[in-house]
């Protein structure tokens, strides 16, 4: 299977730079897999597509303010993107990070942060990743809340200093986010409001929360032309006993986003039963994959040649997905993290 078969053209002006004024005013393309058809709706109509006995599975991971800005020893500004904690104690925190620009940075260099904070470069792990020790005057979580910025994907353009972060801090987060740990939002969930969730419950739809902390791998392109050779970055996930019970009793399981999908499928046995568990997953879903538990998928529109786009193709079929995306482009849907969505049943 070749990667170039999963390309499509997208005008730059259709890449959403800001969220819509109201979360549930996003557009929603409904894709019917059995009929091979698609129709245009708005997201506030989403509850009309679910019925009593369905279970909606959401990812309750919370995005941390994972971007910091500091000064290199040469005086230049450097952006730090936190990836994963390696050690935490009262004196310091050790994290895998990305540094940009990283030119001329060396091990043992000190990056000066606000309020006398320091980021000491411990080790270069790869071409892109570094191990950095943070020493801050207050608890690191509190320091991030005060000085960290929202880790928006690179296709969303903001001033480099990230000063005006208030709207993104609120809107690049789902209303049901609970457990801190993601460096990118599970964006299919951004469309939900408390009212939509309550409407679903009144109609007999159960809601089950799983956790998958979205890592930097969500931004990484597939670099192997042979799709099967791509290796996913590990991401932590957990499914509770209660959530597994609710999911296993579902008439239909509707996953909100590719992250919920991967968590469910990672925890599902061959008999279709979801087991409560926690751990790390590198599950790569691409065309040919046989879904074990997920019956429906709500998802945003994804980058071409990305693992997320391949997952959608695996669920809806590559040809039908490409036709739906072409329709979305023609109808001027907005794409990517702050963009519109697609419901596949």
Structure tokens at 83: 């990836």
Q: Which of 135-139, 203-207, 237-241 has the lowest mean pLDDT?
A: 135-139
**Res. 91 pLDDT band, cuts 50 70 90:** low
Which pLDDT score is estimated for 224? 94
The CATH class of 67-148 is: mainly beta
Q: Which of 207, 218, 161, 193 is nearest to 337 (CA)?
A: 218
| Mean pLDDT across 27-34 | 98
- Distant-in-sequence, close-in-space partners of 128: CB < 8 Å, separation ≥ 6: 98
The CATH class of 3-63+171-344 is: alpha beta
Structure tokens at 1: 């299977």
Which pLDDT score is estimated for 162? 57
| Mean pLDDT across 157-182 | 88
pLDDT of 92 higher than 90 = no
| Mean pLDDT across 125-135 | 92
Which pLDDT score is estimated for 217? 79
| Mean pLDDT across 88-105 | 85
Q: Domain map of the chain by residue range?
A: 3-63+171-344, 67-148
| Mean pLDDT across 234-243 | 96
**Res. 158 pLDDT band, cuts 50 70 90:** confident
Check if the beta carbon of residue 174 is closer than 8 Å to that of residue 19: no
Question: Which residue in the block uniquely carries the two structure tokens 């931004």?
Answer: 219
Q: How far is CA 20 from the centre of its chain?
A: 18
pLDDT of 103 higher than 90 = no
Please report how the helices 257-266 and 307-316 are oriented relative to each other, as an axis angle in degrees rounded to 10: 70
Q: What percent of the chain lies above the pLDDT cut of 70?
A: 97
**Res. 199 pLDDT band, cuts 50 70 90:** very high
Which pLDDT score is estimated for 87? 74
Question: Which residue in the block uniquely carries the two structure tokens 């369905």?
Answer: 54
Which pLDDT score is estimated for 267? 98
Alpha-carbon gap, residue 67 to 148, rounded angstroms: 5
Q: Which of 199, 300, 320 is nearest to 255 (CA)?
A: 300
| Mean pLDDT across 158-177 | 86
pTM: 0.94
Mean pLDDT of the chain: 94
Three-state DSSP at 122 gives: strand
Q: Which of 295, 287, 285, 293 is nearest to 313 (CA)?
A: 287
| Mean pLDDT across 47-52 | 98
Which pLDDT score is estimated for 64? 96
Which pLDDT score is estimated for 89? 67
């Amino acid at each position: 299977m070749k990667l170039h078969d999963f390309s499509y053209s997208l005008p730059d002006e259709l890449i959403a730079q800001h969220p819509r004024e109201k979360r549930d005013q996003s557009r929603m393309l409904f894709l019917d897999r059995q009929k091979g058809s698609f129709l245009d709706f708005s997201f506030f109509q989403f509850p009309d597509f679910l019925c009593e006995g369905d279970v909606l599975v959401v990812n309750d991971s919370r995005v941390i303010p994972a971007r910091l800005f500091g000064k290199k020893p040469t005086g230049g500004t450097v952006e730090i993107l936190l990836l994963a904690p390696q050690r935490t104690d009262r004196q310091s925190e050790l994290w895998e990070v990305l540094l940009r620009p990283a030119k001329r940075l060396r091990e043992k260099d000190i990056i000066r942060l606000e309020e006398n904070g320091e980021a000491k470069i411990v080790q270069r792990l790869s071409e892109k990743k570094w191990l950095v020790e943070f020493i801050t005057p207050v608890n690191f979580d509190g320091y991030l809340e005060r000085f960290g910025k929202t880790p928006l994907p690179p296709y969303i353009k903001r001033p480099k200093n990230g000063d005006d972060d208030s709207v993104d801090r609120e809107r690049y987060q789902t209303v049901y986010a609970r457990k801190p740990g993601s460096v990118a939002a599970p964006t299919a969930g951004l469309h939900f409001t408390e009212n939509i969730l309550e409407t679903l419950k009144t109609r007999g739809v159960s809601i089950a929360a799983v956790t998958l902390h979205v890592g930097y791998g969500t931004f990484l392109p597939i670099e192997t032309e042979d799709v099967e050779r791509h290796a996913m970055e590990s991401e932590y996930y957990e499914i509770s006993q209660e959530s597994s019970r609710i999911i296993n009793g579902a008439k239909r399981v509707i996953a909100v986003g590719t992250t919920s999908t991967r968590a469910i499928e990672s925890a599902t046995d061959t008999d279709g039963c979801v087991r409560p568990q926690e751990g790390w997953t590198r599950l790569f879903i691409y065309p040919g994959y046989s879904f074990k538990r997920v019956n429906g998928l709500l998802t945003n529109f994804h980058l071409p040649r990305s693992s997320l786009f391949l997952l959608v193709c695996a669920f809806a079929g590559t040809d039908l997905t490409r036709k739906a995306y072409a329709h979305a482009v023609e109808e001027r849907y907005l794409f990517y993290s702050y963009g519109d969505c697609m419901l596949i049943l």
